[in-house]
Amino acid sequence: MSKKYIKITRITILIIALLIAAGLVFPTWTPRIQGEHSVSKLEQIQINGTGHEVMIRGADRRNPVVIFVHGGPGCSEIPYVRKYQDLLEQNFTIVHYDQRGSGKSYHFGEDYSNLSTDLLVDDLLALTDYVKQEFGQERVLLIGHSFGTYIGIKAAAKSPERFTVYIGIGQMGDLGISERDSWNYSMEQATRAGNTKDVARLEELRAPIEAGGQLTPRDLVRKYGGAARLIDDNRDYYTGFLLNPEYNLLDVIRYLKGVSLSQDILLAEGAKNYITSVVDEVDIPVYFVMGQYDYMTSVHAAQQYFAALEAPVKEFVIFEKSAHYPQFEEKERFAQWLNQLEF
């Protein structure tokens, strides 16, 4: 091996090491919004004894506040969500936060043995108080997405006075019903496509899914369009991690650690205690927003929950072109719908 080759190899390794080191400590921020009363900040705040990463963006800080509760569990939307909320930022102050133990709110060495949806609800209520004080704003719309609806609707039921309305996007319902719907859809699509391996895989899972002890494989639900139709949510994460300034490489590691931690604990809780038996009444207006092709949290299960749920005002909204992400897949229609909402 020539000395020249060895030198080039060493230089290459050094450059790669320096790039990785830079990526781990690279400062993070969220781009500025122009305007005298605008707000655009990404910061770590202390909530209930631990740091929470919060991103707040809006054209006018005097606008009503929208707090989004991400799903997963553990799947922060901060890395990529800006591309889908530009229209919302014109008329609302949009708040995203990484839940305890998720994303940039995951802290190495911290004890998460007490992680539960009750604890995450308390964190959300404390965050709401912080935001209301920060902006002097009493109009707060609470929006949960996917597993975030489990946390969000519990928060709305526990402390309705803090919120103006509750909106569940991809609202969870009876998990057994939802998973049977997911299995039936995936099996129908796999059979129609002639994918015998997928059919065999699903057939092996038929009994545990029908018994309520197993989730339909999410890769298959996604493969057959039951997760997203008009966007590529996985690619959004990849490009967000690589190109957007809200996350650096260390944050990506935190994100992956947080997903593993949160899903192991919180999915087990959700499977043991269906949200339908946890919350049966909410004392503020409730809106369920569902994509017609959502088989991550099925429309059928959400409709049954909606029918049984008591609230002073209820509305069930279906976005006909979307699956699990109607707020992103049909962002113009979603912004229009939210803008016309009376609250």
Q: Considering only CA atoms, which of 172, 154, 175 is closest in space to residue 280?
A: 154
Q: Considering only CA atoms, which of 333, 309, 328, 290 is closest in space to residue 170?
A: 290
Residue 17: count of CB within 10 angstroms of its CB: 10
pLDDT confidence tier of residue 24, bands split at 50, 70 and 90: low
- For 283, which DSSP code? S
Give yes or no for a cis peptide into 79 (omega within 30° of 0). Answer: no
Residue 39: count of CB within 10 angstroms of its CB: 21
Distance, CA of 228 to CA of 209 (rounded, Å): 22
Residue 140 has pLDDT above 70, yes or no: yes
Distance, CA of 96 to CA of 192 (rounded, Å): 40
Q: What is the mean pLDDT of residues 289-299?
A: 98
Buried b (16+ CB within 10 A) or exposed e, 255-270: bebbbebbbebbbeeb
Q: What is the mean pLDDT of residues 126-149?
A: 97
14 vs 336: which has the higher pLDDT: 336
Place of tokens 């509760």: 69
Write out the two tokens for 316: 């069930």
Question: What pLDDT digit, counting tens, does each position of 76-121 carry?
Answer: 999 999 999 999 999 999 999 999 999 999 999 999 999 999 999 9
At residue 211's C-alpha, the angle toward residues 208 and 213, to 5°, is: 60
At residue 3, the pLDDT reads 57
Cβ atoms of 267 and 151 closer than 8 Å: no
Q: What is the mean pLDDT of residues 289-315?
A: 98
Average pLDDT value over all residues in the chain: 93
Q: What is the mean pLDDT of residues 135-156?
A: 97
pLDDT confidence tier of residue 2, bands split at 50, 70 and 90: low
